[in-house]
A and B are shown apart, each in its own frame.
Chain A
Amino acid sequence: GAVVSQHPSWVICKSGTSVKIECRSLDFQATTMFWYRQFPKQSLMLMATSNEGSKATYEQGVEKDKFLINHASLTLSTLTVTSAHPEDSSFYICSARDAMGPNSPLHFGNGTRLTVT
């Protein structure tokens, strides 16, 4: 089955530094990947849609200059949290479809737990 690998699984960083999270589709090509953020005991909130070779599409209220997304190849998307602050601490999850269309399920990475101190 389709596998999405996310790295790192957890990271602790100091306030003001930047953190990069990688999301790879291991056995399929993903022209589109999705980045979600999940607060404790809450649902997944879509942050942005990452499009290969073009700019990401951000959801309303998400700061594109703070959450930089790069989708340089068909198998890799990265999310960089710039100048991180404690309020950015959260669980970030990426996902991708191995086919087009809303009936195609998402394949998820295992998430990245970010803690900003």
Chain B
Amino acid sequence: AQSVTQPDIHITVSEGASLELRCNYSYGATPYLFWYVQSPGQGLQLLLKYFSGDTLVQGIKGFEAEFKRSQSSFNLRKPSVHWSDAAEYFCAVGAGNTGGFKTIFGAGTRLFVKA
């Protein structure tokens, strides 16, 4: 069965420092991978997605992610974190077939940014 693992429950980084959030997936076929961000009390916003082509994908707000099939990973990165990046980040995999598509979410990683 498909699953998504985000090993870090929370991460704290200093403003201006680089960031990497880890994500590992389990899926038997070609994965469709996403990163979403959620601000407190809000819905989720798509940061970026991958389903084919270049394994390094660029997203909004300066985020990027790299798909590594050999490691079953899709880690999210940002070279310089801003205080406004503090939020909950969810990695997700799209799975299914023509009978129905589902999006499976990881447990999330909460990012804290310190001045």
Contacts and interface: CB of A to CB of B under 8 A. Distances in A.
Interface in A71-117: 91, 93, 95, 97, 100-111, 113
Contacts of B44: 44, 93, 95, 106, 108
Contacts of B46: 105-107
A93 B45 CA distance: 12
Nearest to A2: B46
**Interface class of chain B by DSSP:** strand
- Size range of the chain B interface in the assembly: 20 to 34
A42 B108 contact: yes
Interface in B26-67: 32, 34, 36, 41-46, 49, 51
Contacts of A25: none
Contact of A102 (B45, B95, B105): B95
Contact of A49 (B34, B41, B95, B102): B102
Interface of B: 32, 34, 36, 41-46, 49, 51, 90, 94-96, 100-108, 110
Interface of A: 4, 6, 32, 34, 41-44, 46, 49, 57, 91, 93, 95, 97, 100-111, 113
